[in-house]
Amino acid sequence: MIEELIDFINNELLEGAAPDLDQHTPLLELGILNSLSMVRLLAHVDQRYGAKIPEHDITPVYFENIETLAALINTLSAKDEMQTEQSVSELERLVKLQESYGIQSELVDAGEGFKQHVLRVKGDGPLWILLPALGNPSTSWSSTLRSVQGRHNAVALDLAGFGLSQSANEAPSYVDHVEFTLQYLATLEEQEWVLVANSAGSMIATEIARRFPEKVKALVCSGFGLVEDVENWWGDLKKMSSNPEQFLAAAYYHPPKMTPALESLLDDVLSRPAYHSFLDDYARQSIAKTFDGVMVPTLFVAGNHDQIIPPEWSEKAAELLDNASVTRLSRCGHFSASERPEEFVWVVEDFLNREAM
Amino acid sequence: MDQFKSYDVVIIGSGPAGSLCGIECRKKGLSVLCIEKDEFPRFHIGESLTGNAGQIIRDLGLADEMNAAGFPDKPGVNVIGSLSKNEFFIPILAPTWQVRRSDFDNMLKRRALEHGVEYQQGLVKDVIKHEEKVVGAIYKADGVEHQVRSKVLVDASGQNTFLSRKGIAGKREIEFFSQQIASFAHYKNVERDLPPFSTNTTILYSKQYHWSWIIPISPDTDSLGIVIPKDLYYKECKNPDDAIEWGMEHISPEIRRRFKNAERVGESQSMADFSYRIEPFVGDGWLCIGDAHRFLDPIFSYGVSFAMKEGIKAADAIKRAIDGNDWKTPFYEYRDWSNGGQQIAADLIRYFWIYPIFFGYQMQNPDLRDEVIRLLGGCCFDCEGWKAPTIFRNAIEEYDRKQMAG
């Protein structure tokens, strides 16, 4: 187990940067582990060793070095290494991890053969509907969910064709996504929503906001704006998608390095038909009109270093709307909710407070 | 010597601790004289306030004046780790400010005068005792020595620790965080984050006890501090400028980036031996508040907040002591209350330094998050039954046990 953990931490978490790592290397003092890699380490320990570390045991004493961690795993382990279920995907592993935080995973039958998978937390006020970027699973909202847990009601969606949602249509277009999402929203008890969306998810959100202004109390678009030259932008983006490292460099302020786990997640996404079917001809024509007739209070959260949708495009979009503002986040790229999780929630809550919600 | 005057309370020092104690004593109907050695306004370090301090300022009715003075709102604290690769943000729950202390302390002093605190510029030279009881002070003003009598003499002299130096209070004992030297200066043209976070406090650290603060104290001026271990300072730096240069080079590339076009305003300074505690700090006819008995560490900006809280709490104890003719019960209660809160703050700071990454991780745990945010907001004195302080205490004890064994 110790060898395997050394291997995982060195290759997956540290991107091979610590060849000298051994079971006594102080993991915390040297800053080897950070908050993000902690989450991935916990997911790994759970999947590989069946050791779900209770939140109250996540104290530094156990994470001092690999030896202390292995000792903890041994006391918690439900199954040994040999019996590992190899069939558990990285995705399911991440969902399980969310559940261990008290976030509920729900598969909701939305009718017509569509089952919507969501992650849900409970709190007060209108329901936040968290719509991810194309290809991103519901777990991409993990930081937001944990941060608002107990304070706001929120559900994070796996778009049809991605994550753990199930649909007969493997290659939904943008229009299909709007319909699937509305189908799911119709099943909800809560009929007052704050739509919080990232990137392509924002296209779905603006459409719903336009059609249901009485239900959508407010709209938050991050990594999204007015795309004026759609064909060129789309061409560049497609080129970039064929080189994931280039994409990560453009999308993140601190791009994560390519590790086997990240690569397998990306491969999974890129190989899905749904990744290629979203922005069909009709959707590309719709991009330019996506803000027409949106009347609900709107906030754009723009990463100041976003090279996928530059912040200026968010500002242009806000100018088209009567009731919209833009907040730029420093040291942030395309994925503000995961790159600057606390600040993201702060600006959304501040916006909702100003809108008296 | 002239004929002496007599007050219920004589306070040495009119910083935030002294002013708040004076105001609260006046509200309770006590007569108060405050003796301050410096002509105000005067420079002071400690420019970021906690949410708790913000609430105290609003309770004083000073919010409008704070905004009019151009003190920036403080939305929160950014903690940026080594190589600037990981960072987390701690929001402030109760609105508060960043301040230029010369102006801020002067504002509090004026408010104290409005409440009827009498003010005397002068240097306190000694205490007057009647047997074991402190009954007054001797101070020099305009070249002449004066005597003043007090029912309670309050030491709010800050890092001067007057009563300790006079042997009335205990000796200064160094605290955990005393092996460092802080070097600081004010700058214009510092690149800030974008609004609404442009006026955050930013804390940048590289390794244990090597860190830096950036605090915007006015619309166009930022305070930069570099805190490094003493031995490093004496080895590498001849003066505060060297230490600041060392910090820009070694603590985080983010400092260099932000200060690329910055111009220093005024002199840079260094400060050593700022972390200490004094026991006892209450006695018959006297007590100490704020830095006059304890200062932990500047990292979480507790200084002004704790000073004001202690000033308020001490006023309550003073009133009870004077009314009840018994100093022990109220003063010991004040002492225990102060030690309890200070201990929790000290644990929080040590825990952060031992496990900075873990600290950031635990900020994501909803169970602990709210508590930690409140503790960082200055609620260290009002957290009975909370989980986080126990977790931190246990982890520190475990760490210390291992260090001892190793």
| The predicted structure's pLDDT at residue A35 | 64
The answer to whether A329 contacts B194, with C-beta atoms less than 8 Å apart, is yes
Are residue B35 and residue B120 in the same domain, yes or no?
A: yes
Q: Which of A227-236, B258-267, B369-378 has the highest mean pLDDT?
A: B258-267
Are residue B312 and residue B198 in the same domain, yes or no?
A: no
Residue B101 or B353, more confident: B101
SS (H, E, C) A28-52: CCCCCCCHHHHHHHHHHHHHHHCCC
Q: What is the mean pLDDT of residues B339-356?
A: 92
Domain boundary among B272, B292, B313: B272
Is the separation of the CB atoms in B371 and B383 below 8 Å? yes
Are residue B192 and residue B326 in the same domain, yes or no?
A: no
Q: Give the one of B82, B88, B194 whose C-beta lies nearest to A330's C-beta.
A: B194
- ipTM, 2 decimals? 0.90
Are residue B189 and residue B262 in the same domain, yes or no?
A: yes
Are residue B281 and residue B317 in the same domain, yes or no?
A: yes
Residue of A nearest to B369 (CA): A147
Instruction: State chain B's mean pLDDT as an integer.
Output: 94
| The predicted structure's pLDDT at residue B280 | 98
Candidates B248, B299, B228; CA nearest to B79 is B299
Summarised one tens digit per residue, pLDDT across range B105-133 is: 999 999 999 999 999 999 999 999 999 99
- For residue B385, what are the contacts with CB-CB under 8 A and spacing of at least 6? none
* Distance from C-alpha of A315 to C-alpha of B169, rounded to nearest angstrom: 61
Assess A143–B contact: CB distance below 8 Å, yes or no.
yes
Residue showing tokens 């169970």: B367
Whether residue B395 is contained in a domain is answered as no
Min Cα distance A55 → chain B (Å) is 8
Q: How many domains does chain B have?
A: 2
Q: Give the one of B81, B363, B391 whose C-beta lies nearest to A59's C-beta.
A: B391
Residue showing tokens 């873990």: B358
Assess A17–B contact: CB distance below 8 Å, yes or no.
no
Whether residue B375 is contained in a domain is answered as no
Summarised one tens digit per residue, pLDDT across range B48-84 is: 999 999 999 999 999 999 999 999 999 999 999 876 6
For testing contact with chain B, the best of A37, A62, A325, A331 (most B CBs within 10 A) = A331
Q: Check which CATH number belongs to the domain holding B182 and give it.
A: 3.30.9.100
With contacts defined as CB-CB under 8 Å, which chain A residues touch B395?
59-61
Domains of chain A: 2-83 (1.10.1200.10), 90-354 (3.40.50.1820)
| The predicted structure's pLDDT at residue B406 | 74
Min Cα distance B268 → chain A (Å) is 29
Residues of chain A below pLDDT 50: 80-85
- For residue A347, what are the contacts with CB-CB under 8 A and spacing of at least 6? A299, A301, A327, A329, B196
Whether residue B247 is contained in a domain is answered as yes
Q: Give the one of B193, B365, B367 whose C-beta lies nearest to A330's C-beta.
A: B193
Q: What share of chain B has pLDDT > 70, as a percent?
A: 99
Is the separation of the CB atoms in B8 and B30 below 8 Å? yes
Residue B195: pLDDT over 80: yes
Are residue B81 and residue B212 in the same domain, yes or no?
A: yes
Q: Give the one of B86, B208, B366 whose C-beta lies nearest to A35's C-beta.
A: B86
Assess B176–A contact: CB distance below 8 Å, yes or no.
no
Summarised one tens digit per residue, pLDDT across range B304-347 is: 999 999 999 999 999 999 999 999 999 999 999 999 999 999 99
CA A285 from centroid of its chain's CA atoms: 26
How would residue B373 be classed by pLDDT, with cut points 50, 70 and 90?
very high
The answer to whether B357 contacts A34, with C-beta atoms less than 8 Å apart, is yes
| The predicted structure's pLDDT at residue B353 | 85
Whether residue B11 is contained in a domain is answered as yes
Domain boundary among B252, B272, B292: B272
| The predicted structure's pLDDT at residue A83 | 45
* Distance from C-alpha of A202 to C-alpha of A313, rounded to nearest angstrom: 13
Whether residue B331 is contained in a domain is answered as yes
Are residue B309 and residue B265 in the same domain, yes or no?
A: no
Candidates B269, B300, B268; CA nearest to B48 is B300
Assess A147–B contact: CB distance below 8 Å, yes or no.
yes
| The predicted structure's pLDDT at residue A82 | 44
- For residue A150, what are the contacts with CB-CB under 8 A and spacing of at least 6? A121, A122, A123, B366
With contacts defined as CB-CB under 8 Å, which chain A residues touch B190?
none
Are residue B128 and residue B213 in the same domain, yes or no?
A: no
Whether residue B150 is contained in a domain is answered as yes
Are residue B255 and residue B145 in the same domain, yes or no?
A: no
| The predicted structure's pLDDT at residue A14 | 72
CB pairs below 8 Å between A and B: how many?
A: 91
| The predicted structure's pLDDT at residue A353 | 95
Residue B15: pLDDT over 70: yes
Mean pLDDT lowest for which of B34-43, B86-95, B261-270? B86-95
For testing contact with chain B, the best of A13, A25, A35 (most B CBs within 10 A) = A35
Question: What's the sign of the alpha-carbon dihedral B392, B173, B161, B330?
Answer: positive
Residue B173: pLDDT over 60: yes
The residue range of the domain holding B33 is 5-47+103-174+277-341
Residue showing tokens 């995907």: A89
Assess B263–A contact: CB distance below 8 Å, yes or no.
no
Is the separation of the CB atoms in A98 and A119 below 8 Å? yes
Are residue B293 and residue B305 in the same domain, yes or no?
A: yes
Whether residue B348 is contained in a domain is answered as no
* Distance from C-alpha of A100 to C-alpha of A78, rounded to nearest angstrom: 15
Q: Check which CATH number belongs to the domain holding B151 and give it.
A: 3.50.50.60
What's the maximum distance between 2 C-alpha atoms anywhere in chain B?
A: 66
Are residue B208 and residue B111 in the same domain, yes or no?
A: no
Domain boundary among B316, B341, B366: B341
Are residue B15 and residue B164 in the same domain, yes or no?
A: yes
Assess B356–A contact: CB distance below 8 Å, yes or no.
yes
* Distance from C-alpha of A256 to C-alpha of A240, rounded to nearest angstrom: 16
A276-282, Cβ contacts within 8 angstroms, sequence gap of 24 or more: A276/A171, A277/A161, A277/A171, A277/A172, A277/A173, A278/A134, A278/A172, A278/A173, A278/A174, A278/A177, A278/A200, A279/A134, A279/A174, A279/A200, A279/A234, A280/A173, A280/A174, A282/A173, A282/A174, A282/A175
